[in-house]
Chain A
């Protein structure tokens, strides 16, 4: 019985941890929008802008990745079981 509760709570917790995905989603969308604006204003700098945007997006992604790691620990390497 206790085990079942722990497992269910871990699954719910993993789902809740992935709410962290909202933040990077908004941030990356904002960065991509700004990059699109910049390309519209200065199409000849497209390569530079794209690589800068990808770099910034990947760094902004970290918080989402932390959420993912917590979810994966809860699902596959649960310390409570």
Chain B
């Protein structure tokens, strides 16, 4: 049994050596898969007689724009591609854990990148709408005394977002590993005395699949939904319509 972080596969010898971990390679695979899916869904589009593939793609895009329009308001629809990218990358990364890869979202670096992206979008939105002075003044409200608290809560935001996604996926990885090890020990103790059958950990068949429905599939969907929902709420809050 071994529970480890993502391993360093090789290093690129520029800038003092950039380590390429399992996370980065997994991310490349996910990006390639997403590109392939987008390419297949976007081929041979036609207005007259749309294929089933095209109808599915249109349904997905319409659902995304509907959700973004409902949550962030119609004036923020320009963020829809970003939210869609975030959602699809997050969910495919988490689900890639099912294939035996180490899920890229089970690494704090990936989720921290998501969170920092959202953090800077929020700050840029605030600066754009209120101006630099208004943005700085926003930290001293309602009274100047609680400025440190406002700063801390602003910084805690991306940290909590990153840790939430990372913790959910990583705890799934840890628990799955522990259960596999426990089942191997159990089946060795129960069936170890049978000559050939004893070498195969029979108890590992079936039960982990049931747990994986919760720890991998359900958590993946939920966390992808949560992080895109939080991104929509926060970024939408920073980009209120200006005429109000």
Contact A68 B171 (CB under 8 A): yes
Q: How far is the CB of A33 from chain B (nearest CB, A)?
A: 19
Given known contacts A68-B171, A72-B170, A76-B3, is B222 in contact with A62 (CB within 8 Å)?
no
Report how many residues on chain B are interfacial, defined by Cβ distance under 8 Å.
18
CB contact between A65 and one of B3, B168, B174, B229 (< 8 Å): that residue: B168
Q: How many angstroms between the C-alpha atoms of A77 and B223 in the bound complex?
A: 24
Q: How far is the CB of A5 from chain B (nearest CB, A)?
A: 23
Q: How far is the CB of B106 from chain A (nearest CB, A)?
A: 11
A-B contacts, 29 listed (Cβ < 8 Å): A54-B222, A54-B225, A54-B226, A55-B225, A55-B226, A55-B229, A58-B222, A58-B223, A58-B226, A59-B226, A59-B230, A61-B164, A62-B160, A62-B163, A62-B164, A65-B163, A65-B164, A65-B167, A65-B168, A66-B160, A66-B163, A68-B167, A68-B171, A69-B166, A69-B167, A72-B174, A76-B3, A76-B5, A77-B5
**Which B residues are closer than 8 A to A by beta carbons?**
3-5, 160, 163-164, 166-168, 170-171, 174, 222-223, 225-226, 229-230
